[in-house]
Structure 1
Amino acid sequence: MVRSDLWRELCAVSARLGADRAIVQGAGGNVSLKEDGTLWVKASGCWLADAEAKDIMVPLALEAVRHRLADAAGQALDGARLDDSATQHLKPSIETALHAVLPHPVVLHVHSLNATTLSILADGPERLKACEAGWRGAFIPYVRPGAELAAMIAHAAASGGDRPNVFVLQNHGLVVAAESPATAADLLHEVERDLAFPLQAPPAAPAAQPSPVPGYRWDESLSRVAMDRRLVSIMCGGALAPDQVVFLGGPAAHLPSNGQFQAVLSEYRSLYGGAPAVLLAPGRGGYVRNDLRAGADDILAWVIDMLLRVPTDASVVFLPDAEARALAGWEAEKYRLAQSSARAGQ
């Protein structure tokens, strides 16, 4: 497949966005370009930061993708792939559907800090309306990535005369759409500035580290969170977004002071299918599992950064436990995690 100047511009923009942890974390986010009937979309599990160094954009026949979205709920894209030896071993993003349904030439989907913070707030829709400036926004209620999410975005994009080009996805992230990679990136940064939440300073970490926990290590950033009961309540209250489930397994677990660690593990496993990646002992400290998945450190830092942006007067909305469990067992997400881990292990 021939790579055009627009394709190269998309790769350059993607690499810049992928290098900014406030915009993209690890293998998160995906981008696309529609050009001459081809939909170029980031491959599942690949890192946007690698966009200029590696071939990570998979070419698909745009109309074939749209036809399959209507006929097969967006799951069967193999027949829409175009011949391209450089990317034949890769799978298109699990969120290809949302890129295909929007009419704009360029679509950027990221988990940027300010937009994702807004997406987890109960009054997120009202806050979004109050922030709109030179762009038009729509707040999309949470549904799992795929055809249903794509349909909701398509409906919002086509509704009324003042059609939005910015979509905040509840408990998920941000989508912006524009005419070129550069204008899309400019729009993304403008939205992040307009939505900006002040970063609150967490308390100091405890002077002395608490007793060790088998299989876990003490962490200073988490220990600062542990000194604020409001932050502990949010972090242990539920999963905030899909990538938290995929890379961390779910929310943090509350470590009681009575030493009933095994009971905590058992309850957590019954809900999320594995041991918690994060333990918080209120007023004492925080711990990270020793065998944290590759790339999970970026996601953990992102979760903490979101917590420190949640206004003190705001209520937080969590992913339903059933949705979190479904994401943890979703084969498409397991593939993305494996691809990301392979890259991180290089």
Structure 2
Amino acid sequence: MERNKTLQELVWLCQKIGRKIDYVQGGGGNISVKLDSQYMAIKASGFRLDQVTEEDGYVIVDYQKIKSFYENVNLSQNKDYEKESLEIAQKSSLSFSGKVLRPSVEVGFHSVLDRYVIHSHSVYANILACSCEGRQLCYQIFKDKNFNFIWIPYINPGFSLTIEIANQLRSLPAEDKRPKVIFMENHGLIVSSDNLKEVYEVHERVNLLIKRWFKIRGRYPSCVLKQIGDNRYQSRTRFILDFIKSEKFEFELFEKYPLYPDQLVYINSSLYAENPKIEIDLQRGRVIYNAAYSEALATEETLLAYLYVITKINKFSLTIKTMSQNEMEYIKNWESEKYRKELLKKMAK
């Protein structure tokens, strides 16, 4: 009975956060809830948050096994820790309903944080996370608030990110309250708490405070797609179309300003491929996706978020902070992201 109630809490959180495309785009972001002292339910890799139900879209893992791995890992050895951490996560997963799903690649840091964890790719948090001035602005925006935060400089997702978060938490003075909020440079936002109401409200408050600081008013743009053929969709999202018609747009934009992993996975890999899945027609001011609806929508949401963040960073006279070439190469060759993209294609069929 208790487990069913906790699964309902997971679904509630996933639906509340997942329905807002200014918080998560496509299959990005993830949410977890610890069911008891041993097991945790977390969104499955490749699923959208708003696809999570009590029957599907999540994985139950033995988070104590995963946590123990990170607490006892010997970093002096010459081996592929990323691969080992994925194997540990998979072995710690319980299969049910005849399905074999992968837990989110970020299952590591979910295991070491509080009972409820929201990891979003909020466009408001990413105005800070993708600007050189973001860290310093956090200290101004969130001073005198009733939650602590830490800032994680960009680090490769997965194993390395979990190790860095665990190290930062361990290095805090004993008298400091455990931070509720974590900003990840060129990545996004994490909020964690042992209280369901608090984790949701703090996530909302962080985003609201950023919007108030920058005086961001009005609703976030909606994504609108029109089917124009078999697996062919045209963008009708006004914000995107206005941007590509403006003098600010150039085809090299996405390579010139790599902001975060999802941009590389959904946009760059689709635009700069041999058979591009995104067609940008500057003369006609059109954006067309050659993909099934779910993949086209994920790409459209990611494109909108990326252009929105770029626009706001420029508007507020901040300096764009980009990923390095090595960081980009890591994501392009990352097996976990290839898996997520392939699963999206399969789910679209």
TM range (shorter): 0.7 to 0.9
2:3 equivalent in structure 1: 3
What are the within-5 Å matches in structure 2 for residues 151-166 of structure 1?
Answer: 151-158=163-170, 159-160=172-173, 161-162=175-176, 163-166=178-181
Deviates further, 37-46 or 66-75: 66-75
- Conserved? CA contact 2:26–2:301, under 8 Å: yes
CA 285–315 in structure 1, closer or farther in 2 if over 3 Å, else same = farther
SS in 2 for 1:195: helix
Which AA in structure 2 matches 1:337? K
Contact 1:131 1:195 in 2 (8 A): yes
**1:195-344 correspondence to structure 2 within 5 Å:** 195-196=210-211, 197-199=214-216, 221-226=239-244, 228-230=246-248, 235=254, 237-249=256-268, 275=276, 277=278, 279=280, 286-291=285-290, 293-294=295-296, 295-310=298-313, 311-343=315-347
Deviation, structure 1 residue 275: 4.6
CA 1:200/1:18 → structure 2, altered by over 3 Å: closer, same or farther? closer
Greater shift in the superposed pair: 284-293 or 175-184 = 284-293
Match of 2:209 in 1: 194
- Report the more deviating stretch, 184-193 or 27-36: 27-36
Deviates more, 1:181-190 or 1:303-312: 303-312
* TM-score normalised according to structure 2 size: 0.78
Deviation at 1:168?
A: 0.8
The CA RMSD over aligned residues, in Å, is 3.0
Deviation string, structure 1 residues 290-332 (Cα, Å, up to 9, x no partner): 4254421111111122223224411001111332232122221
CA separation of 1:11 and 1:177: change in aligned 2, threshold 3 A: same
Of the three residues 193, 208, 231, the one matched with 1:178 is: 193
> Is the CA contact 2:132–2:318 (under 8 Å) kept in the aligned structure 1?
yes
Deviates more, 1:56-65 or 1:232-241: 232-241
Q: Which AA in structure 2 matches 1:59?
A: I
Partner-residue secondary structure (3-state), 1:175? strand
Q: Tell me, yes or no, if the aligned pair for 1:43 and 1:57 is still in contact at 8 Å.
A: yes
Instruction: Please tell me whether the aligned partners of residues 166 and 177 of structure 1 are also in contact (alpha carbons under 8 angstroms).
Output: yes
User: Normalising by the residue count of structure 1, what TM-score does the alignment of the two structures yield?
Assistant: 0.79
Runs of 4+ aligned structure 1 residues displaced above 6 Å come to 215-219
Aligned counterpart, 2:221: none
2:150 is matched with: 138
Q: Which runs of 5+ in 2 are unaligned?
A: 74-80, 219-231
Cα distance in 1 for partners of 2:188, 2:17 equals: 14
Note if contact 1:200-1:309 (Cα within 8 Å) is conserved in structure 2.
no
Could you tell me which of 91, 96, 100 is aligned with 1:79?
91
How many aligned residue pairs are there?
310
- Which deviations, in whole Å up to 9, do the C-alpha atoms of 1:224-281 show, x marking residues without a partner? 22455456586552211111111112697xxxxxxxxxxxxxxx56xxx875846585
Q: 3-state SS of the aligned residue for 2:59?
A: strand
Identical positions, percent: 23
Counterparts of 2:156 and 2:132, CA distance in 1: 18
Alpha carbons 1:43, 1:93 under 8 Å: kept: yes
